[in-house]
Amino acid sequence: MKITKPLLALIIAVVAVVIVLALIIVTYNGLVNSEQQVESQWAQVENEYQRKIDLIPNLVNITSEYTQFEAATLANITALRMEWLSALTSEERLNTSIALDGEINTIVLAYFAAENYPTLSSIPLVANLMDEIAGTENRIAVERMYYNEDVQDYNSKIKRVPGVLFAGMFGFEEKRYYDPIPGGA
């Protein structure tokens, strides 16, 4: 069979269309994958923020409980001090001193041996929660960094050839970087 000029032109046109369609498909799929990676990474950032948000009520509750304990203890110490100052006999002062020593020891032991006093166990719990929150902050920072890297990759794909030729046509728009201080330098 002899290839005629019209048949050759048709074959070239079909090959060109197939190449253009393949380029469009590959570019579109690459942009979809990149956009999904950005969205997935943002979900991970939100996941870490949620972890932090979930820790805060625990910190507030424990801190509040400890503050109530501390306030009651300090009120007792103040009352015992006034009782000691107004005591008329040595025995009254001795009894008040013993009670005062007990209250002061409660505070000291709370700082050094909180596990012996269940009501004072909030001290290490607060420290542990603060460590958890600090660790979560570090994880958030890492996830935001990954997010910004994925945004950079995606934005580069929609601005480079061939992505720039098809991004607008298929509705792919530039993504915003995470900026902790919007408009900041």
Neighbours of 170 (CB within 10 A): 13
Has residue 14 been placed in a domain? yes
Full-model pTM: 0.64
Domain assignment present for residue 75? The answer is no
pLDDT at res. 152: 96
Residue 13, domain extent: 5-68+111-166
Residue 149 in any domain: the answer is yes
Instruction: Decide if 47 is inside a domain.
Output: yes
* Helix and strand totals (H; E) in the chain: 4, 0
Task: Identify the segments of the chain with pLDDT beneath 70.
Answer: 107-123, 181-185
The count of domains in the chain is 1
What integer pLDDT is reported at residue 120 of this predicted model? 47
Contacts of 42-49 with C-beta under 8 Å, sequence gap 24+, read 42/147, 44/143, 44/146, 44/147, 45/140, 45/143, 45/144, 45/147, 45/178, 47/143, 48/136, 48/139, 48/140, 48/143, 49/140
**Quick one: pLDDT at residue 25?**
95
Q: What is the pLDDT of residue 90?
A: 81
Per-residue model confidence (pLDDT) at position 71: 78
Question: What is the per-residue pLDDT for 14?
Answer: 97
Domain harbouring 136, CATH code = 1.20.1440
Q: How far apart are CA 157 and CA 47, in angstroms?
A: 26
Q: Does residue 99 fall inside a structural domain?
A: no
Q: Is residue 32 part of a domain?
A: yes
Give the total residue count for the chain.
185
